[in-house]
Structure 1
């Protein structure tokens, strides 16, 4: 039985069963019959940038970053480009699979025709992420900012509440997972704008960015979120594109330092918020630690190439994106990076495993599995 049938049953049966019994039956069905499979949480709501986008940018006008063309998706079912910046699935897909879902929930902009069916699909989750967006990049008209993503979630919540009632919606959201994967684009933007780097300026940038991040988390909490799964910023200075800008071909250390400083500050932020926001639980998955581990010992993890992108052109295959005219490697499972900035399907799969089941090296203070199983 799907969500639509469950809610229909609730609306018909309210006159027959005591409310407490009806809610018990409803919640049991909500938690255990998602898409015909045993989902471990009622829903997943995803916010962030291209590391989490599953097709929202396909619907945007103008020059928004897109991946809805070959060779993207070459290892996705039916070799279909979906808007994921990957040769297959991305990290959010694998995390969703570990939670019992088929893959990431659908992009928000695919549900904008507010039919009953599509509104009810929002009960299983929605992906609001937009490639090119950031924590504080509010002025970029070609992407969906975090502020707008949260406003879109508020609209979805309003629609769901209108269908199933406030108490049921609040209960559902409190048990759902809110995934956030963002921050890299803010660091890229800052790095590209500075002329003379200094520690004071970098510290102010990180402080301001993390404060804005906290505002987003608190807004989601106000809207009903209680379980937060955060994916930190990876070792972005070692992606193929930054390497291509470095005359030595090495990593850009400043970008990695900014990422590490931001990640550490986010850990402190989430810990403080969990002390002040009643019922809040969180896990921070470290893509930074995962990429660092692969780069330190690639052979042991089955990698042969950790510097050059699989798909692209120019130095490190990173001076152009993965376009239909670009070349791409045949042994993609041996590559860390798919394109100039994004991981391969295999790397995302490895990250999903490490973040969901791994030790505190890859997820802290608990892993995503423990977050999913924690009773709020």
Structure 2
């Protein structure tokens, strides 16, 4: 597309300049309405509510659900789908950039449809579950370990229906998206809101160690291309702000997010140097959100502290329930609910991660990752 060529040609040396240009693009172009030719065979998605597109709808008793109004008010047909958003989430927008209509279907919506093409590994599947984390002890939903076990069944299906060579070819060229870590940090914070430096180091080291195991497990199953979304400055979400006497960001949460993000960067770099064929990109939602908070007017935002939908201080005391109030000018809000971004914010972040410079996706961006055929 022409605007992609324009992004590549501009001397956008600073995060602000790049995001200003991306903001212009978002005000000029509408959402992708249909799929172009897919640039990868399939997308497999793992993670928490930042990536969930409805898996938790199928979990009886789970409190981490969004399959009710006012969620989805800007989704096609204004229907709630289980996304923690007024419309699409970041995974949807990344999928559109890769030639898909939006995120693959949630795995649990297909468990009784064993002959569905998605269950045969075609086009990909979304395993993400709101409330989950890197650690099995985080949350009570579908753990990341369980999500990887689910993928193993898909890998077996592809092999059984085709051949080992075909399965290896398809999976090695597919993209494995991972968006997780925030819930683990919140869980740690809830148990210890004034940890020592030693405790912070041990905690983040444990998270990174577990991520190593998860990524290696996917590699063993054939994954070669990994797209990781880092943890945003979660201390600036409406919920943490509602806990702060001053209404400011909670610095400890942001510090833990930065520590974990640095650890993930080192982890992925190390794996790429030791595992044959291993390729990756880390998309920085952290840097995108910080730029929006620092320069809201540059991107058309009028509110970066209070959620569009919710209740209480900063609309951060409860989620977006049918009884909650919600804003009418949703394009001008950074946050949709107490913890999650709006449709507009997700679109901006996905564009920066997919086509942006190393300030927003490193060591290469997602477009370069999927175009790498070596």
TM-score with structure 1 setting the length: 0.89
Which residue matches 1:331? 329
Deviation, structure 1 residue 195: 5.4
Q: CA deviation at 1:113?
A: 1.2
CA distance in 2, matches of 1:144, 1:210: 19
Deviation at 1:311, TM superposition (A): 0.1
Partner residue, 1:315: 313
Structure 1 residue 197: Cα displacement: 1.6
In structure 1, the partner of 2:300 is 302
1:222-241 counterparts in 2 under 5 A?
A: 222-241=220-239
Aligned partners of 2:39 and 2:370 also within 8 Å: yes
- Give the Å deviation of 1:61: 1.2
Higher relative contact order (CA 8 A, sep 6+): 2
State the distance in 2 between where 1:69 and 1:36 align. Answer: 27
Shift of 1:196: 3.8
Aligned to 1:81: 80
| C-alpha distance in structure 1 between counterparts of 2:101 and 2:167, whole Å | 23
- Tell me the matched-pair count: 341
Structure 1 residues 119, 179: CA separation in 2 closer, same or farther (over 3 Å shift)? closer
1:121 Cα deviation after fit:
5.6
The corresponding residue for 2:123 is 124
How many Å separate the matches in 2 of 1:165 and 1:114?
A: 22
Conserved? CA contact 2:118–2:125, under 8 Å:
no
Q: Is the aligned partner of 1:185 residue 2:167?
A: no
Partners of 2:193 and 2:336 lie apart in 1 by: 30
Q: 2:246 matched to which residue of 1?
A: 248
Higher mean C-alpha displacement, 193-202 vs 274-283: 193-202
**Partners of 1:331 and 1:235 in 2: CA distance:** 23
Indicate the residue corresponding to 2:54 in structure 1: 55
Mapping for residues 117-196 of structure 1, pairs under 5 Å:
117-120=116-119, 122-138=121-137, 140-141=139-140, 143-194=141-192, 196=194
RMSD over aligned CA atoms reads 1.2
In 2, the alpha carbon distance for the partners of 1:96 and 1:321 equals 26
User: Helix, strand or coil for the counterpart of 1:116?
Assistant: coil
Q: Whose radius of gyration is greater, 1 or 2?
A: 1
Maintained 8 Å contact 2:133/2:139 = no
1:91 alignment partner in structure 2:
90
Structure 1, gaps ≥5 residues long? 1-34
TM-score, length-scaled by structure 2: 0.89
Distance in 1 (CA, whole Å) between partners of 2:335 and 2:193 is: 29
Secondary structure of the residue that 1:135 maps to in structure 2?
A: coil
